[in-house]
Structure formats: structure tokens, C-alpha cells
Amino acid sequence: MRPRLPSPLRELSDPRLTARDLRLWLKRDDLIHPEVPGNKWRKLKYNLVAAREQGQRTLLTFGGAYSNHLRATAAAGHALGLATVGVVRGEELADRPLNPSLAFAVERGMRLVFVDRATYRAKHTAPVLDALLAAHGPAYVLPEGGSNEAAVRGCAELPAELDDETGDEPGDGFDVVCVAVGTGGTLAGLAAGLSPGRRALGFAALRGDFLTAEVADLQRRTYGAPTDNWHVATDFHHGGYARRSPELDTFLADFAHRHDFAPEPIYVGKMLFGLFALAERGTFAPGTRLVAVITG
């Protein structure tokens, strides 16, 4: 399971940014590994180390029917000879043909356990977790989306890969790093790994304001206190998780045409939409150097 690290970084040339004296680099984490891409590789890294240290032979985790985290966990377990169990939200899915995400997870050896929504909501409580471990364990348990302290530490390694490449002189690098937010583990780590004076900007792919508290809590659990160098933009979700809008579709089609690169729409597309919208509103001062993390 050899990753491509550091992942490639390339500058994007776009007249909408040049007009405002902004520069933008794409951090291509989607190219880290074909089956464990993007932030999923970074989030699994120290969890897999911990699982091995604890002598666990099984990984047990949680996700929705289209979870990239379930796919990545199945692939990582397969590559490392660990059994994997995926607890999936939605009892009714058990009777339906598997969608491509779940079919891939099963192909990589993951055992799927479908649970109803109430059970899924209670997944991190002792009664539910104990019952799952009694039936399918013992196992190393990864939370939904893989976001825990070990995942945050893995994502905190990203900023060190950016420095030499985004500036002409040492120490003359980027100013703001942008990333999509699902459960918040990636943003929590990214922000914690930044050197002083730099900022991280998250774009929520889901509706709601809970993600700011989530990111702060992940930083508190990992480092003892949250950092004050990040922000979550909550108005670019386009209707909620996996929802789209005509504006988003138009932006993405245009982006693919201009740059010969079609971003993943559920997370990355919304982040890029938000970044360009903020740029056009004049949110970033002229001269700002931006990095957009292509998480998948």
C-alpha cells in the first residue's frame, strides 16, 4: 500500500483569480493512492499503526451508503491483511442491490452490517457499540468518517508538504489553505499543522452550524485546546450533503472545461465553488496565495 507522498501540487491559472491578484495551487491529495485517496489515507495512517500496536486483526467502522471512508477502510484492510466490518446506516439497504461504493467495499472483503437509523445515531454509545463488538469483534473501532485524534494528527502533516513549492524564497509560501468539511477531522488537523500567520478555511459540504463545534472538539481532544486560525464557511452546501444546485453544476462544468479537470462534486466541487465565490466578493486581499486541497 505505497502512497504517493508528498502528493503533487500544481498552480492553477485562472483569469478570475489573476484579475484580483490572487494565486491558487491545487494540492492533489486525490492522487495519493488509487483505492485509499486523499484525506482518507492521511486519516487512516496513524489509526492503522494503532490497530497494529494493539494487536487488532479487524477494523470496524461506520458510514452512509455512499461513504468514501467505508470504501477506503475496506481497501486499506484488504491491503494490510486486516478484516473489515462496515456498519451502514439504513436497514432497508440490506434488501437492495449494492450501490457501487458498497459493492467495492464488499469486493475488498468488508462485511457489511446494516442497522436502522435510530441504532446508527446511537452508534457511539456503549450498548450499541458493545453489541456490535460482541457480534463482530474484537475490533479496532474507527468513528464515522474516520475522524478521531489519530486522524487529526495524520492530516496535520499536510502543510509541511506545501512550503517549498508555493513561494520563491524559503518562508515565502502560501497564506490560506482551503478544504472541504464533512466530519471535520481533515480541517482540524490541517489548521493545527499550519505555521503562524497562516489560516485554514473550511467549506461545509453539509447543512448546519454544528461543524465549527465539531472541529474545535477534535482539536481539543487531540491537542488539549482548539487553534484560532481556521473558519468554517457554512453557506456553500447547495442544499445539503450530496445535494446539488444548478449554480454548482454550471460552475463545475465550466471549471472542467477551463482546466481539463473535473473535481469530485460532493466535497471538492463545493469547496472550489465557495473559494471562487469568495474571491469574486473580494474576501481575499490582493496578493493572497491560496492552496485548495483536492481531498478526493
Ligand X SMILES: *Cc1c(COP(=O)(O)O)cnc(C)c1O
The residues of the shown chain that bind ligand X, judged by CB under 6 A, are 38-39, 68-69, 145, 147, 180-186, 264, 267-268, 295-296
Q: Shortest Cβ distance from residue 132 to ligand X (Å)?
A: 21
| Residue 180 Cβ vs ligand X, minimum distance, rounded to whole Å | 4
Closest CA to 259 of 17, 69, 5: 17
**Whose Cβ is closer to ligand X: residue 27's or residue 69's?**
69
From the CB of 172, what's the least distance to ligand X, in Å?
29
* Residue with smaller CB distance to ligand X, 28 or 289: 28
Give the residue with the Cβ less far from ligand X, 77 or 184.
184
CB 185 → ligand X: shortest distance, Å? 4
CB of 273 to ligand X, least distance (A): 14
Q: Work out how close the CB of 72 gets to ligand X at its nearest, in angstroms, rounded to a whole number.
A: 8
**Which residue's CB is nearer to ligand X, number 73 or number 186?**
186
Integer angstrom CA distances of residue 102 from 14, 74, 108, 117, 189: 37, 10, 10, 18, 28
CB of 145 closer than 8 Å to CB of 63:
yes
Label residues 177-211 b or e (16+ Cβ within 10 Å = b): bbbbbbbbbbbbbbbbbbeeebbbbbbbbbeeeeb
Identify which of residues 112 and 181 has a Cβ nearer to ligand X in the complex.
181
Taking a C-beta distance cutoff of 8 angstroms, is the pair 66, 105 a contact? no
Cα separation, 143 vs 256, in Å, equals 34
Q: Which residues pair with 290 in a beta bridge?
A: 24, 176
Phi and psi at 237, nearest 5°, equal -85, -10
Least distance in angstroms from the C-beta of 214 to ligand X: 9
How crowded is residue 164: how many other Cβ atoms within 10 Å of its Cβ? 12
- The Cα–Cα gap between 2 and 130 comes to 34
Choose between 173 and 185: whose C-beta lies nearer to ligand X: 185
Nearer to ligand X, 136 or 208 (CB): 208
> Reduced to 3 states, what is the DSSP secondary structure of residue 59?
strand
Measuring CA to CA, how many Å separate 281 from each of 73, 205, 248? 39, 20, 17
